[in-house]
Structures are given as C-alpha cells and as structure tokens.
Amino acid sequence: MAGQAKFPRHAILCGTALLALSAVFPCTTQAQTARSTAKATNAAGKPKLVVLLVVDQMRADYVDKFQAQWSGGLKRLVQEGAWFRDAAYPYAATETCVGHATVSTGAFPATHGMVANAWWDRKEQKLVTCTADPDPNAKNVGYGGATPKGADTAWRMAVPSFAEELKFQTSGATRIVTFSLKARAAITMAGHKADAATWFDGGAWVTSSPYGVQPFVEEQAMSHPAKADFGKTWSLSFPESAYWYGEKAVGAVPPDGWDLTFPHPLRGKTGVGEPDSAFYEQWASSPYADTALTELAEKAVDALKLGNSNGTDFLAISYSSVDYVGHAFGPRSREIQDILVRLDKDLGELFAQLDKKIGRGSYVVALTSDHGVVPIPEDMQTTGADAGVLHLPDVQERIEKALESFHYAKPAVARINGSDIYFAPGVYEKLKGDANAMSAVLDAIRTVPGVEAVYRAEELRDRPATQSPSLRAFASSYFSGRSGDLFILPKPYWLLDGTPIGKQRSYGTGHGVPYNYDQHVPVLLMGFGIQPGEYFQAITPADIAPTFAALCGITLASRDGHVLAEALKKTAEARTSYQPARPKSTPAPAPNAKP
C-alpha cells in the first residue's frame, strides 16, 4: 500500500491525545509572577518568539573543533546557551527531509512518515520527493515574477509540526515563518499551513499554495539578492595558518567553475556574462546564501513585527549552504571551516537584531542540524582506515544475476534509493515465500564490496526490541508503504553511491546511514527559560519540539521526543532573569596546529 493512501491528506489530528505536561512544567500558572517582573515575557509568561535554526549537514564535532574562531552567534550559543554535546538521531535515514521533519514534529520518521528526501512510490512506480504534491489544486508560487514548476507541500508529513500545534492551541495568534534554500526544509519546519514558507529554486524565491504570500518577501525578491552577488568572491576569512586542513581537500568535487583552491569566484561556468545555473550552484555553496537567508529573516521580523503580537511567533531558518559545501569539499576542508566562520557572523547579527527588536532573553533559540556527513572516502583512505565507495548499481546487477536461475522476470529490482531496495511489483512477496531465492539475493548483496549487513522489511516493522543498534536504527525510520523491501547497511566510512558504473562521481561525499558521523549533531538552546550550561546526557533532536512546547505552555501529542527538563529554568522568576551562567570570554586565537 502506498503511504499516501494510509494517511489521507489533511487528516491531521491537532491537539488530540495530549500528555498532561503542564503538571510537570506549569508555564501558564506562573504567568502572574512573570508578567510583573519583566519586559522579557509577554502577558502569558511565554517566549515572544521561538527561533529554530537548522544548519544543514553540521556535524557535532565542528563545534569542538572550530569554536575558538567564532565570536558571533555560534559563539554566543555555546557560551550563553545550553549545549547538548551528545545529541544524535537514533535512526538510519539521516537525510535533510527526515531530519527537518524530526526536529519540527518531535517524532521519528517511523511516526512522521518523511523517510527520505525521495522514495519509490510503489503505486505510481516512480520516485517521488518528500514534498511533491499530486493534488491538482496545489501549486508552487514564485516571487519576483518567477513561474516555478510543480507543487511542494507538507501533505506527506503524517503529524503536525510544533509550529502548527502552537498556532492551533493558541487560537491562531502565532505567526509561522520559515526560510531555506530547500523546499523540503522550509516546508517541514513550517508544517501543513503557514504565514510564509519560502525557499530558493533555480534563481528565484518560491512558496506554494498552502502558504501565505508576503509583500516583504516580494520586495526582497525584486532586489534579487542572489543575482546581486554575481561577481563577488569567497575568500578565506583568516590567514592560511588558521586552517586545519590543506589547501586542496582530498577527493573533493567542487561546483562547476570553481577549482580546489581559494578564492572561489561567483561568476558562473565561464567567469563572464550573466548569472547561469553554475553561478546559482556556486552562490548556494557560498556564505553569501546564508547571509541572504539571514536578511530575509530580519526582514520578516520587521515587516510582520514578529515577537510583538499577543501570541508566540515562530521563525525558522534552515541554512543549506554548509550541506552543499560539505558534499563538494567534505567535512575535512577549509571551505567547511570558513563557511562556519561566516555563518557565526550572520547569526551574531541576527541575534543582535532580535535583542533590539524583541528583547534579550524574551525569545528562545534552538540550533541543530538535520544530519552529519561522512569524510570523503579517498580522504579517509589516506588515514589508513577501511573506507571506500559502495556502488549501488553493482548491488542491482548482482541481485538480477542471482535471480536468473530462479526464473524471475527482469528487472526484478525497481529501484535502489540510498539504503532502500525496492523490488518490482509482486517480486518481494514472491521472494518471501521462496527461501532459496531470498538467500541467493541476500548472499549476492553481501558480496558487494563495502556491505556490512542487509535487513528485510519484516525485521523492522513495529520497531522490534533488539540488541542490534543498526537494526533499531533502521526500524526507527521504517514507514510501511514508503520504505524499501530490503535495506543495505554499509561498512563504516563506505559511501553509498548511485553513480552508474563507469561514470565519475559528481560530488565528494554524502550521508544517510546510521553511523555516528551522520547521526551526531549539535543541539544548542538559548534565551527564554533556558538554563545555560554543558549537558552530557544522550538526547535526540526530536527533543527540541517538546521542549519548545513546554516553554510555550502547550502540549504535543505523544511522540518520540522528550522535554529537555534539565535545561529549563525552574521558576518563572528565574526564567525572566537573563544572565549567562558562564562568563563571556574573549575570542580565543585561531588554532595554527594542523592535525
């Protein structure tokens, strides 16, 4: 059965089956104390604005490695916020759509249904993206005269977002505004409806029919913030000695028109003339795109007076560029180190604006990531580690060959998408009753270089109790109808790659498996109601939404995440007094050691 049949569109249950969280964390009952003491709270003793920041593909170790060079917003989150140092996604499908939906809903993919960026639709027999909406009434809407194709909505997301719940449970006072370069991030963070959900597509800013069209976005789109960066150059922020890695990242595949060394010019493929598609790829892979998103967010705060209404507003930004840079240059690159230095500046600026317009301590921020990334295999090999490329077309070829003697129609495999193997209609049902053919298939997959294990869908259903962490991880992202029939677990540091045999890989590295390098991400909370400090307990990014909910005095339907109670100030009075627990230190000098 196709997943969309199981979850009819718009059959979203808001605010049902709620947990009595208010007994644990009585936000609203303490309102009177809060109201009298501070500018820091609105009438209900809640944050005026909830800010969700997702840095796409930001590994947790980046904070440890690079924070000495930060002096802006990232530094402030580390110094003045609650820093959860052991946060990781517990599931296998560590991809963008999945991670954003998890952060947004407080649920794992087995619950929210966004199991990948795209999956094989068995009914339609085609690959569908997580946001593709076949409803003829749904359509994408372009700002600045753009005419985007298709329709992207959250209809496949099976539970409401935190922001939707907030709006629903506060009689609609909440405004929901999200930005990203990617539809699958802007949409999942917003939910099924929002005041604005804006993303970037082929040089234009875009939204879609369930979301509001905002004049301030139109105004910004008319000033063409991307195009205006044509001709700029991304240069290193510090002297070369400040960078951890060599001039050229090993195994990197930079965007068209760039080579392996700084500076990187934003001049398209040929370096002359008008912005072309190569230019937009360069721009999206540069710090300039982060700055454009930050400016859009600042415009939203001004135009909609976010944080100055009767309710709690919601603003989310997903910074996509670290992901593009990471795919091209890998995590062990000057490019990653430098783009974080630039993002730190942008976030410092954003927080300064929010302090000014809303009040320091009267908004709450969470920063996390949707997934990490594996080092480029060729780079990892230089360390002597067992690393390599697991060729998915090779997997498919060997399955077809293994089934030849069992007289299965060819092709038996409909699609391999990341870890997920989808068989042609009827084939997997037949295999389940054909033990010899099934073992031949499983054995054939295990012979492919880089394969650690293969799991069957039957092993994952209903989230079984198991001692195997990888089986548990695949089960946490298993959603019946959408996930594959078989699942490949690569060996650690082996990259799953779908490039046709004989062709050159068009990117450096990727993510999407249940290993620490893909699962472990930062979680930092700061501002209203947050007790600063370093926290070492194991948590997941699904804990962010329930924690926001507790701060806002609403409750989420029982999900997978938990309230991070240890990082919440215990009384309303404490919540309204804003003081960093640790002294603000001066920025440490840049490291000159190169491990």
Q: For CA atoms 532, 535, 541, 545, give the dihedral sign.
A: negative
Per-residue CA distances from 259 to 143, 224, 249, 256, 263 (Å): 33, 26, 11, 8, 9
Q: Where are the alpha helices (DSSP H) in 285-434?
A: 287-304, 321-329, 334-357, 377-381, 392-404, 427-432
Q: Where are the alpha helices (DSSP H) in 56-133?
A: 61-66, 73-80, 96-105, 109-112
Nearer to Zn ion, 374 or 414 (CB): 374
CB 73 within 8 A of CB 347: yes
Nearer to Zn ion, 323 or 378 (CB): 323
> In a 10 Å sphere around its CB, with 0-12 CB exposed, 13-18 middle and 19+ buried, how is residue 595 labelled?
exposed
- Give me the amino acid identity at 421: I
Smallest separation (angstroms) from Zn ion to the CB of 466: 28
Smallest separation (angstroms) from Zn ion to the CB of 58: 11
Nearer to Zn ion, 361 or 512 (CB): 512
Nearer to Zn ion, 472 or 520 (CB): 520
Smallest separation (angstroms) from Zn ion to the CB of 512: 8
The torsion angles phi and psi of 34, rounded to 5 degrees, stand at: -60, -40
Nearer to Zn ion, 329 or 408 (CB): 329
CB 52 within 8 A of CB 103: yes
Strands (E), 170-242: 176-180, 196-201, 204-208, 233-234
Smallest separation (angstroms) from Zn ion to the CB of 511: 6
- Pairing mode, strands 176-180 and 313-319: parallel
**What distance lies between CA 38 and its chain's CA centroid?**
34
CB 386 within 8 A of CB 493: yes
How far apart are the C-alpha atoms of 148 and 208, rounded to whole Å?
Answer: 9
Radius of gyration of the chain (CA): 24
For the chain, counts of helices (H) and of strands (E) = 22, 20
Q: What 3 state SS string does 249-297 have?
A: CCCCCCCCCCCCCCCEECCCCCCCCCCCHHHHHHHHCCHHHHHHHHHHH
Smallest separation (angstroms) from Zn ion to the CB of 319: 12
Nearer to Zn ion, 97 or 354 (CB): 97
Tokens 């500076």 locate to 263
Smallest separation (angstroms) from Zn ion to the CB of 528: 31
Nearer to Zn ion, 113 or 510 (CB): 510
Nearer to Zn ion, 418 or 484 (CB): 418
Smallest separation (angstroms) from Zn ion to the CB of 368: 15
Strand-pairing partners, residue 141, are 207
Smallest separation (angstroms) from Zn ion to the CB of 258: 18
Euclidean distance between the first and the last CA atom of the chain, given in angstroms as a whole number: 51
Number of alpha carbons in the 13 Å side-chain half-sphere of residue 158? 19
Smallest separation (angstroms) from Zn ion to the CB of 461: 28
How far apart are the C-alpha atoms of 489 and 471, rounded to whole Å?
Answer: 9
Smallest separation (angstroms) from Zn ion to the CB of 370: 8
Nearer to Zn ion, 180 or 362 (CB): 180
- Number of Cβ within 10 Å of residue 170's Cβ equals 17
- The residue number with the shortest CB distance to Zn ion is 323
Nearer to Zn ion, 55 or 473 (CB): 55
The torsion angles phi and psi of 348, rounded to 5 degrees, stand at: -60, -40
Nearer to Zn ion, 472 or 511 (CB): 511
Nearer to Zn ion, 95 or 543 (CB): 95
Nearer to Zn ion, 323 or 543 (CB): 323
Smallest separation (angstroms) from Zn ion to the CB of 510: 7
CB 213 within 8 A of CB 141: yes
Tokens of 406: 């069992």
Share of the chain residues as helix, strand and coil, in percent rounded to the nearest 5: 35, 20, 45
Per-residue CA distances from 358 to 51, 57, 75, 352, 453 (Å): 12, 29, 21, 10, 52
- Summarize as ranges the residues that interact with Zn ion (CB under 5 A): 323
The torsion angles phi and psi of 581, rounded to 5 degrees, stand at: -75, -30
Nearer to Zn ion, 56 or 346 (CB): 56
Smallest separation (angstroms) from Zn ion to the CB of 508: 11
Smallest separation (angstroms) from Zn ion to the CB of 322: 9
Tokens of 524: 């930092």
Smallest separation (angstroms) from Zn ion to the CB of 519: 14
